[in-house]
Amino acid sequence: MKTIMKTLGVASLGLWAGMAQAADDMTLQLKWVTQAQFAGYYVALDKGFYEEEGLNVTIKPGGPDIAPVQVLLGGGADVMVDWAPSALAAREKGAPIVNIAQPFATSGLMLTCLKEHNINSPADFPGHTLGTWFYGNEIPLYSWMGKLGYATDGSDGGVTIQKINFNVDPLLQKQVECATTMTYNEYWQVIDAGLTPDDLVVFKYEDEGISTLEDGLYTTEEKLADPVEVEKMVRFVRASMKGWKYAEVNPDEAAEIVLDNDQSGAQTEKHQKRMMGEIAKLTAGSNGALNVADFERSAAITMEGGMITKAPEGAWTHAITDEALN
């Protein structure tokens, strides 16, 4: 009997040890499809950085029909990737979401114009049509035009802002003279279409002082009020930033990891490696902690663009990164 009890005791200890070591589940909702824009998370997953932190992470790709904030609020994700304007707009409308980390230090958004239209500076914009994505992506452009004093409906010597889809066809087909592009994606689609950098004039939003924060990590106030969830977030951010720093130093390997996780098969090695090289420039210098001045600028631009009506309160926290970086 003593032998049996001893055996059961050992088994019980083993069971409890296994339970104690069970990984905590966590789900990340991306803003867009699987691509090098999100390489840090895929690297953290592939290299076991999440596993080292006791996390079992699921990464959900985004897409044109997926609203990350709805997935987050619906309980389909614990954390989401979003841009500041859309996140702030959602918060003002009642979504209790909070920025917990900011892996991207700078913006990759820019306006790309065909040189043949003789647009060499912002002073040349009047009389032209500028294409941009909407759903919050248009806000910096509207704010910029407002600062320049240009009407955006084509009147009074202003510009015409036209909504375009997430591709460069309108620019290539000359339906617009300029179009929003990302340094790591659509700009290169223009180049791959046969144009050269000499055929283009680009205006980087960072250089124009109208950039807003991109690709921040957001969760809900409810999760931040739960110590257990907070502790998981700390581990998640720590591992994610380890993934981002690895991706910066090993861009080609990071791109290959992204390709391995692209279940759609739509991405190409050339494009993803080039994208990762550009993405590394945007995450460089970030340790994950939000720069408050950058956030406040983003909020001001979002207000100027009419997407929110007042300065946000409680929309960010350093609590997670302070702990994760210690």
CATH code, 166: 3.40.190.10
pLDDT number for residue 18: 43
The answer to whether residue 16 is domain-embedded is no
- pLDDT score at 134: 86
In a domain, 155, yes or no: yes
135 pLDDT band, cuts 50/70/90, is confident
Q: Taking residues 87-99, what's their average pLDDT?
A: 97
Residue 14 belongs to a domain: no
Confidence of residue 155 (pLDDT cuts 50, 70, 90): confident
Residue 226 lies in a domain: yes
> Are 188 and 311 found together in one domain?
no
Q: What does the pLDDT read at residue 137?
A: 83
For residue 105, the one-letter residue type is A
Q: Is the pLDDT of residue 232 over 60?
A: yes
User: Which residue has better confidence, 139 or 291?
Assistant: 291
Tokens (6 digits) for 120: 């060499």
What percent of the residues of the chain are helix, what percent strand, and what percent coil, each to the nearest 5?
A: 50, 15, 35
| Domain of residue 143, residue span | 109-208
d(CA 249, CA 279): 12
The total number of structural domains in the chain stands at 2
If asked whether residues 161 and 200 sit together in one domain, one would say yes
pLDDT digits (tens, 9 = 90+) for 261-287: 999 988 999 999 999 999 999 999 999
Tell me, what's the pLDDT at 21? Answer: 66
Q: Report d(CA 168, CA 124) in Å as an integer.
A: 21
Helix (H) or strand (E) holding 200, with range, is strand 200-204
Residue 1 lies in a domain: no
Residues 200 and 218 in one domain: no
Tell me what pLDDT residue 17 has: 43
Say which residue, 202 or 64, is predicted with more confidence: 202
H helices of the chain, where? 2-20, 39-46, 49-52, 68-73, 84-92, 139-148, 169-172, 186-192, 205-208, 221-224, 227-249, 251-261, 269-283, 292-304, 319-324
Q: Are residues 58 and 101 in the same domain?
A: yes
Share of residues in the chain with pLDDT > 70 (%): 94
Rounded CA-CA distance 132/251 in Å is 29
Could you tell me if 262 and 162 lie in one domain? no
Confidence grade of residue 3 (pLDDT, cut at 50, 70, 90)? very low
Percent of the chain whose predicted confidence (pLDDT) is above 90: 85
Q: Select from 208, 229, 259 the last residue of a domain.
A: 208
246 occurs within a structural domain: yes
Give the pLDDT score at 8.
Answer: 34
Same-domain pairing of 318 and 233: yes
Residues 221 and 320 in one domain: yes
Q: Which of 181, 208, 235 is the last residue of a domain?
A: 208
Tens digits of residue pLDDT in 39-72: 999 999 999 999 999 999 999 999 988 999 999 9
**Average of per-residue pLDDT across 9-27:** 60
What is the pLDDT at residue 14? 44
Query: Are 88 and 125 in a shared domain?
Result: no
Tokens 């704010």 belong to: 143
Contact 10, 41 (CB under 8 A): no
Residue 94 confidence class, pLDDT cut points 50, 70, 90? very high
For residue 230, is it within any domain? yes
- Say whether both 183 and 314 belong to one domain: no
| pLDDT surpasses 90 at 15 | no
Question: Rounded to an integer, what distance in angstroms lies between the CA atom of residue 102 and that of residue 214?
Answer: 8
pLDDT of residue 279: 98
Q: Please, what is the average pLDDT of the chain?
A: 92
> Nearest to residue 242, comparing CAs of 52, 70, 107?
52
Residue 326's pLDDT band (cuts 50, 70, 90): confident
- Model confidence at 240: pLDDT above 50: yes
**194 and 263 in one domain?**
no
Q: Say yes or no: 94 and 120 in one domain.
A: no
Q: Domain boundary residue among 166, 188, 208? A: 208
39 and 167, same domain (yes or no): no
11 within some domain: no
